[in-house]
Amino acid sequence: MSDSYSSAQDVAPSHNGYPLGSDASFGQPQVPTVPVIRKKLMGYVGFANLPNQVHRKSVRKGFQFTAMVVGESGLGKSTLINTLFNTTLYPPKVPLAPSEERPKTVAIESIGADIEENGVRLHLTVVDTPGFGDFVNNDDSWRPIVENIESRFDSYLEQENRVNRSKVVDNRIHACLYFIQPTGHSLKQLDIEVMRRLHTKVNLIPIIAKADTLTDEEILQFKQRVLSDIAYHNIQIFQAPTYENEDEETIAEAEEIASKIPFAVVGSDNFIQTADGRTVRGRAYPWGVVEVDNEDHCDFVKLRQMLVRTYMEELREYTNDVLYENWRTEKLLSMGVAQDSSVFKEINPAARLQEERVMHEAKLAKMEAEMKMVFQQKVQEKEAKLKQSEEELYARHKEMRDALEKQRADLEEKKRRLESGRPLTPEKGSTQRKKGFLRT
pLDDT tens digits, 3-22: 444 444 444 444 444 444 44
Give this prediction's pTM: 0.66
Q: How confident is the model at residue 372 (pLDDT cuts 50, 70, 90)?
A: very high
Check residue 98 and give its pLDDT: 73
Residue with the bigger pLDDT between 415 and 319: it is 319
- Nearest CA to 78 among 63, 99, 94, 62? 94
Encode pLDDT of 35-75 as tens digits: 667 777 777 888 888 888 888 888 888 888 999 999 888 88
Check residue 176 and give its pLDDT: 94
Residue with the bigger pLDDT between 90 and 403: it is 403
Encode pLDDT of 255-292 as tens digits: 888 889 899 999 888 888 888 888 888 888 888 888 88
Burial of 126 (0-12, 13-18, 19+ CB in 10 A): buried
**Is pLDDT above 70 for 111?**
yes
Q: How confident is the model at residue 344 (pLDDT cuts 50, 70, 90)?
A: low
**Is pLDDT above 50 for 196?**
yes
**Strand, coil or helix: what is 382?**
helix
Which of the residue ranges 8-17, 98-107, 136-145, 171-180 has the most confident prediction, judged by mean pLDDT? 171-180
**Is pLDDT above 60 for 401?**
yes
C-alpha 68/C-alpha 63 separation (Å) is: 17
Check residue 24 and give its pLDDT: 45
**Strand, coil or helix: what is 381?**
helix
Those residues whose C-beta lies under 8 Å from the C-beta of residue 90, and which sit 6 or more positions away, are 78, 79, 81, 82, 111, 126, 128
**Is pLDDT above 60 for 429?**
no
Residue with the bigger pLDDT between 106 and 234: it is 234
Residue with the bigger pLDDT between 82 and 224: it is 224
Check residue 412 and give its pLDDT: 87
**Is pLDDT above 50 for 109?**
yes
The average pLDDT across 94-101 equals 69
Please report the beta strands in 93-185, taking only residues with DSSP state E, as ranges in sequence order.
109-117, 120-128, 175-180
